[in-house]
Amino acid sequence: MTDTHHDTAPLAFLKGHGTENDFVILPDPDGRLDLSAADVTRLCDRRAGIGGDGLLRVVRSAAHPEAAAYADRTEWFMDYRNSDGSIAEMCGNGVRVFARYLQRAGLTDAGDLAVATRAGVREVHIAKDAEDGTPGDVTVRMGVAGLPEDEVTVTVGDRSWPARHVDMGNPHAVAFVDSLDQAGTLDEAPAVAPAAAYPAGTNVEFVVDRGPRHVALRVHERGSGETRSCGTGACAVMVAAARRDGADPAVTGRPVTYTVDVPGGRLVITETVDGQIEMAGPAVIVAEGVIDPEWLGLASR
């Protein structure tokens, strides 16, 4: 990790999660940190680092070359990295946690705000806290789902399932199965064919029905492995389920809402008549502190 002002003072960090999809949060408003993949991997290491499914760097849009074009629409850019250090286009749970951080830091209030991501600007609404002090849910307008017409197959061991290709700013392969146990251990990425459908790899969701407009999933996230939740994955699953169930709002003329259970909690996903996907769920900041520059090696650089 390099820091352009060569300051070896401790770096502030926070830890947060959305339905147990957890993140290291690094406030870097002026874009002074240059994170290598190795730096991110070390920070996300659950035994030797802080631990997380990914890392959220909080940067002003005007201070980041990938977000400068959005600076007239939103002040903040979410620089999201997977736990293996790879760069990702989007993270739905990450956007909610990102917004919660901005609220905690006094950089936004409950209400509406916009967050820039590599998949474009996402509109966010932070609900007011409940009377008992419980933080309000965070809702993200996730954009319109892309539905490539690839015929995709997902394979685990000697079993294969047809899957729906859904693009939520990042790629997904959604397979409906009889039991979530059929996904196996998910220690390794399930095989997806044809590989040409996903040239940069994909997230894979295994889905079962729980009731009317109610599904549950397990997910293997590209670059992170199996996680407790995936926001874009829950949206992809909702879209695939709605198409399977004949509930496409563009056809019926009515919005549709699904409850999506993830291992770490519950998300509520709505598709509007104009195709916008809205995801609502909790976002929690659990800790904050400082990172030792000696541990990171800043003092020797």
Q: Tell me: the pLDDT tens digits for 122-159?
A: 999 999 998 998 899 999 999 999 999 999 999 999 99
Which overall architecture, per CATH, does domain 2-137+284-300 show?
Roll (3.10)
Q: Which of 91, 126, 154, 296 is catalytic?
A: 91
In our burial notation (b when 16+ CB lie closer than 10 A, e otherwise), range 120-149 reads ebbbbbbeeeeeeeebbbbbbbbbbbeeee
What ranges do the domains of the chain cover?
2-137+284-300, 152-279
Residue 230 appears among annotated catalytic residues: yes
Write the pLDDT tens digit of every residue in 157-205.
999 999 999 999 999 999 999 999 999 999 999 999 999 999 999 999 9
**pLDDT score for 7:** 53
Residue 203, annotated as binding a ligand: yes
235 is catalytic: no
Q: What is the pLDDT of residues 80-124, one digit of tens each?
A: 999 999 998 899 999 999 999 999 999 999 999 999 999 999 999
pLDDT band at residue 209 using 50, 70 and 90 as cut-offs: very high
Q: Judge whether 21 is annotated as a binding position.
A: yes
What's the pLDDT score for residue 5? 41
Q: Tell me the CA distances in angstroms from 274 to 249, 250, 278, one per residue in order.
A: 8, 7, 11
Catalytic residue among 40, 145, 230, 277: 230
pLDDT score at 300: 52
pLDDT of residue 104: 96
- Topology agreement, domain 2-137+284-300 and domain 152-279: yes
The mean pLDDT of the chain is: 94
Q: In CATH, which superfamily holds the domain spanning 152-279? A: Diaminopimelate Epimerase; Chain A, domain 1 (3.10.310.10)
Per-residue confidence (pLDDT) for residue 6, from 0 to 100: 44
Residue 85 is assigned to a ligand binding site:
no
Give pLDDT, residue 27: 97
Confidence of residue 35 (pLDDT cuts 50, 70, 90): confident
